[in-house]
Amino acid sequence: MLSEISSLWGQGAEWLGQHAVLPVLNFLHVTQYTDPPQDIAATLMVGVLQLLIIACLFRPLENLFPAEKWEDRRYARIDFHLTWLMLVGLFPLFAFLIMTPTINYLSGASAAVDMSPSATDDAAWSMRSQFPWLNAHPWVFFILYYLTYDLVYYWMHRTQHVIPWWWAMHSFHHSQRQMNCWTNDRTNYLDGMGQSFILAGVGIFWGVSGEEFAWLMLLGELVENFSHANVRVGFGPIFGRIFVSPEFHRLHHMNFVPERPNLHNCNFGQVFAIWDVIFGTALFNEPVHSTGVTGDKMVDIDNSKGIIGVQVESLKRFWGSVTCRDGWRIGGVVFNKKYRPIHMKKNADQSKGANTPPR
């Protein structure tokens, strides 16, 4: 059964590549610079498959077991448009024109996959080239790679919350008042590119090819689509401490609670909750909290913008932060009307009447 599905998938990718992708590549005169048309077609097909899974599985679950009940989904609609644009447009374009050639060049992917002695000699250094037996044990390789990938993601994610210029972009992802199954791809594109290159470094370390990285990244995204869904679903007292559930990740997106100011600094994991448990950032057994960053008007304003406007607003916050000293000083911030970061402690002092000069 699986072999038949794999065969049909391959035939579909071949047909789509030859009859849809190749004519476009020829028209743009970029055929010699890209991966084979069938590989690009396969990525487009994966994107469509991901959209169908979200729409046909995760979205109905939001109606059946909602964490929050909304009168309408007016804030959530933009996330749907950002998701399909990313999965069948920007991500394939970025992956095959930039990411895949870069990873293949830096990792020596073709040599790393071929573990013959002559190929290994020419391969770039990687765990896969140094330990050829990993090729004979793909599940061991996958588990080791994905644990490393998820650990790097965890620390990268924590860093996004404490470096003001990075939070300036990442805050767009958190500004959603109606977190839903489409919210995962609510991303500033500059931030998304930076994350991709950092995570690609893990693939290069392990010797993952560009094509494998694209598939693995999409697998992780599908898990994240579910963890962002507006559903009251947890994984229980045991598995809930191993894997990220919607109930667990929702607490990461909770609105700022003034009387418990550090409560929202929790649950940073992407797929595995074990990193939050190990490093002391796990939070469990909380009631449902509203999501968003409504306490910062310069972030909450994202909810009133369109597809282009939200990118512009988050880039304004980024530029206002990266060009000033406070934008490089670690700590939680809010943004003033000039898009400059104000550290939370300083903001609290100002609200108490401290004589701090305005910025």
Vertex 85: Cα angle to 81 and 87 (nearest 5): 120
Range of 104's domain? 34-278
pLDDT at 238: 94
The reply to whether 347 falls in a domain is no
**Which residue has 């994240």 as its token pair?**
224
Residue 53 in any domain: the answer is yes
More confident residue, 118 or 339: 339
Predicted local distance difference test score (pLDDT) of residue 250: 95
Asked if residue 175 is part of any domain, the answer here is: yes
Domain presence at residue 356: no
Q: Please, are residues 165 and 282 in contact by the beta-carbon 8 Å criterion?
A: no
Task: State whether residue 284 is helix, strand or coil.
Answer: coil
Provide the pLDDT confidence category of residue 119 given band limits of 50, 70 and 90: very low
Whole-angstrom distance, CA of residue 172 vs CA of residue 334: 13
Q: Which of 123, 127, 130, 131 is nearest to 107 (CA)?
A: 123
281 near 273, Cβ under 8 Å?
A: no
Residue 60 covered by a domain: yes
In a domain? residue 286: no
Question: pLDDT (tens digit, 9 = 90+) per residue, 73-113?
Answer: 999 999 999 999 888 777 766 766 666 666 666 655 544 44
The residue-averaged pLDDT of 141-163 equals 94
As to burial, measured by CB atoms within 10 angstroms (0-12 exposed, 13-18 middle, 19+ buried), residue 167 is buried
Ramachandran angles phi, psi of 305, nearest 5°:
-105, 165
* Mean pLDDT along residues 36-53: 83
Q: pTM for this one?
A: 0.84
The DSSP code for 334 is E
Lowest mean pLDDT among 11-15, 32-36, 119-123, 237-241: 119-123
pLDDT of 243-259, one tens digit each? Answer: 999 999 999 999 987 76
Residue 266, pLDDT above cutoff 80 = yes
What pLDDT score was predicted for residue 106?
67
Residue 7 lies in a domain: no
Tell me the pLDDT tens digit for each residue of 296-353: 999 999 999 999 999 999 999 999 999 999 999 999 899 999 999 999 765 555 544 4
Q: Is the pLDDT of residue 8 over 90?
A: no
Q: What angle do CA 310, 313, 316 make, to 5 degrees?
A: 150
How many separate domains does the chain show? 1
pLDDT score for 64: 94
235 within some domain: yes
